[in-house]
Structures are given as structure tokens and as C-alpha cells.
Chains A and B, each alone.
Chain A
Amino acid sequence: MWSSYTRRFIRIRIYSVTKPKVHRLNTNFFNVKRLIKNLFLRKSLRLPKTVIKGYNEHFPATKNVEWSKLGKIYEVLFYDKEVEKIARFDKQGSLIELRTNLSPDSLPETIKSMAESKGEIMNTIQINRTDSLFYEIIVRENPIKRIMLLLNGNSEILESKVL
């Protein structure tokens, strides 16, 4: 979109404005109250009783539960035995998807080998849907190039996307 001339122009303009300024470093740049409020105080969401019941049946002992609503779906992010999980429920309280954070060492060997053939494994999430199992794996080719792979339980790559 922008010509090299324009880029040079902008760079010169930016430098011409900035260079003479002595910018005092400001370490207090956060919106203090908002940061603390957002970071530590939880928002509540009104949930249908069916959804609460469904959640409690599937996950009886969890910590730090955070609910959100995505369209007609209720999503909950929580800790279950020190592991991050994301579960999705419909309004009838049926569990429709569960995402579990995994360490690469917990992956089945064939899945791990397939992912490692594409790069170093940086993040692994197991996805359980009603009758199917998937793995969302992020690998890196170099320090700043990352690829997301979606594999099925048979180690087949269904999707590959540069992030």
C-alpha cells in the first residue's frame, strides 16, 4: 500500500518530532485502578441452572472458575488438578467441548512425532468433542515463526496455519 518513499517520509517525520524530545521514562503508565480491578476482581455472569448443574457433574473439584458467554454457548476456564481447562456447554447444560492444556510429554508418541517433524513443540492442547479427539499443537520453525497444527487421534494433520 505505502511506497518506499512514503515509508521514508513517515520515518523522517517521526524522527523529526521525536529526536529533540527528552522523554522522561515513566514507569507508572498503567491505569492503576483498572489494572488491579481487572486482574484480581472477578466478574460474575448469570448462568442457567442447567449449565451450573452440567458443569458440577463433569467437574466437581475445580478452582478459579471464569465464565463467559459466546453467542449461545457458555464457556468456562478453570483449573482442574493444577491443569488449565476450557469447557463449553450449551444452554441445556450438555458438555460440547473440552480443551485441556497438556505438556508435550503427555502426547501420544505418534502425535508427538508428527508434530515434531514440523518444528519444536511450544504448546499443546487436547480437544475432546462428543465423539472425537483432536490435538491443537503450536510448533516453531525458528524463534519468531510459529505454526498451529490441528491433528486428529490418528496423527493426521487436518489443518496447518502460520500464526
Chain B
Amino acid sequence: MNANHYKSLKDEEVVVIIIKENKKDLFQILYDRYNRKVHDKCFSLLKNKELTYDSVQNIFEKAYEKLNSFKGNSSFSSWLYSISYNYCIDLLRVKNKLHYPNYNSSNEIPEIIDETEEDFTEINYTRLLTILDLIHPEEKALLLMKYNDDVPVNEIGNSLRISESAAKMRIKRARARVVFLYKKIYSDTNL
């Protein structure tokens, strides 16, 4: 088969061939497809170009080493993104001494807004990005994994080293915080 044939395959098919036929070179196809996306996800959490660059290399190396553990229960992209978020959050936990319980107790949400009474149809995207940068990086990662990258909740839990129930509750809290901050900061304007 020629290179173009392999490039036309789905991610999961490429993974199977890498594992079963030992065609390690094909990992380059996955790298080319996701390098930029992983880079941008890392940068959105790390906010540092050099650190992001090194992290992307390490994440792909880690994904390559763990490829045999990919069972196809979720898409390859979700699997790769959960490795990416796990790497970045672990890095921040060590480097920036991230401590979610401390953050949570010193940043209590004054009011859990009843979402059924809010109109979210005119949410402004730029403002939403601003709010996502105001919350704790672990909460941001949780929201992006769940609502942007379709990572299954059990993988979200694995990625942040928390249980599935804790992941569900923290996602709930993160969303409540975003809604509260959005309303507080932009309350005098249309959503």
C-alpha cells in the first residue's frame, strides 16, 4: 500500500495497523493530524510557548508508548486529548503548585444560578473565552474535555486523577462558576 492509502484511513484504523503490523512509521500520520490541536490545547492551559512546545513532544511520545492500551472505547482523538490534559495538569500541579481544594474553598461561588431561568442563546464566544481563563486550570480542562472534546467521563476522571463521581461533580461546579462569572461580569450587557 502506498503512503496516500494510509493517510486516507481513520485514526483508529491507523492505530490497528501500527500495532498489528508493527508499522511504527505510521504514527507520523497521527502526529501530523493532531500536532497542532494538541499544541493549542496545551497552550490554552500552560500559557507558555516553550513549555507548550516541549509538552507536545512529550505527549506524543507518551501516546506512542501507550498506544497498545488504546482499546477503541472512545475515539483516538478523545484518548489523545485526555493524555494531553493529564500531562498539562500534572505539569501545572508540580510547577505552579495547583491545589484545587484550596482554590475552591477560597473562591466559593456566592450563588448557584438556576440555569433554567437564564437565556444562553446569545452567549458571546470571546467573553466565554475570557471567563474560561479566569477559572482554575483544572476546571477549564474539565469543561473543555467534556464539552469541547467529547472525552468520556471515566477518561476525564483518569486524566485528572479523580474518580468518575468527583469528575461529574467538579464539571457541574465548573459550569456553575462559569455561569456565575459570566452573569456577574457581563450583567449590564446582553449575554
Judge whether A14 and B57 touch: CB under 8 Å: yes
Judge whether A39 and B175 touch: CB under 8 Å: yes
Given contacts A123-B162, A123-B166, contact A17 B65 (CB under 8 A): no
The listed residue (A15, A26, A82, A125) touching B57 by CB distance below 8 A is A15
Question: Is B114 located at the chain interface by the 8 A CB criterion?
Answer: yes
Question: Is B13 located at the chain interface by the 8 A CB criterion?
Answer: no
Within 8 A of A (CB), among B37-68: 37, 39-41, 43-44, 49, 53, 56-57, 60-61, 64-65, 67-68
Q: How large is the interface on B (under 10, 10 to 19, 20 to 34, 35 or more residues)?
A: 35 or more
Question: Is B107 located at the chain interface by the 8 A CB criterion?
Answer: no
Judge whether B163 and A143 touch: CB under 8 Å: no
The listed residue (B39, B93, B143, B172) touching A23 by CB distance below 8 A is B39
Q: Which of A30, A77, A82 counts the most chain B CB atoms within 10 A?
A: A30
Judge whether B28 and A2 touch: CB under 8 Å: no
Question: Is A46 located at the chain interface by the 8 A CB criterion?
Answer: no
Question: Which residues of the partner chain A approach B178 to less than 8 Å between Cβ atoms?
Answer: 39
Task: Name the CB-closest residue of B to A18.
Answer: B35
A64-B172, A138-B161 given; 7 more Cβ-contact pairs under 8 Å: A7-B61, A17-B32, A17-B35, A26-B36, A84-B173, A86-B165, A143-B90
The prevalent SS among residues of B at the interface is helix
Q: List 20 A-B contacts (CB under 8 A).
A: A7-B65, A13-B28, A15-B57, A34-B147, A35-B128, A38-B147, A39-B147, A41-B120, A84-B169, A86-B165, A99-B169, A103-B105, A104-B101, A122-B101, A123-B101, A136-B163, A143-B93, A144-B90, A144-B93, A145-B161
Question: Which residues of the partner chain B approach A146 to less than 8 Å between Cβ atoms?
Answer: 161-162
Question: Which chain A residues have a beta carbon within 8 Å of chain B's beta carbons?
Answer: 1-2, 6-7, 9-11, 13-15, 17-18, 23, 25-27, 29-32, 34-36, 38-42, 63-64, 66, 77, 79, 82, 84, 86, 99, 101, 103-104, 121-123, 125, 136, 138, 143-146, 148, 163
Judge whether A39 and B114 touch: CB under 8 Å: no
**A-B interface contact total, Cβ < 8 Å:** 142
Q: Which of B68, B112, B166, B172 counts the most chain A CB atoms within 10 A?
A: B166
Q: Which of B37, B44, B56, B168 counts the most chain A CB atoms within 10 A?
A: B168
Q: Mark B87-122, 1 if CB is under 8 A from A, else 0.
A: 000100110010011000100010010111000100
Question: Which residues of the partner chain A approach B71 to less than 8 Å between Cβ atoms?
Answer: none
Question: Which residues of the partner chain B approach A29 to less than 8 Å between Cβ atoms?
Answer: 37, 40-41, 44
Question: Which residues of the partner chain A approach B94 to less than 8 Å between Cβ atoms?
Answer: 143-144
Tell me, rounded to whole Å, the shortest Cβ–Cβ distance linking B49 to chain A: 7
Given contacts A17-B32, A138-B163, contact A36 B114 (CB under 8 A): no
Judge whether A25 and B43 touch: CB under 8 Å: yes
Whole-angstrom CA separation of A98 from B57 in the bound complex: 43
Question: Which residues of the partner chain A approach B144 to less than 8 Å between Cβ atoms?
Answer: 30, 35
Judge whether B169 and A10 touch: CB under 8 Å: no
Tell me, rounded to whole Å, the shortest Cβ–Cβ distance linking A160 to chain B: 13
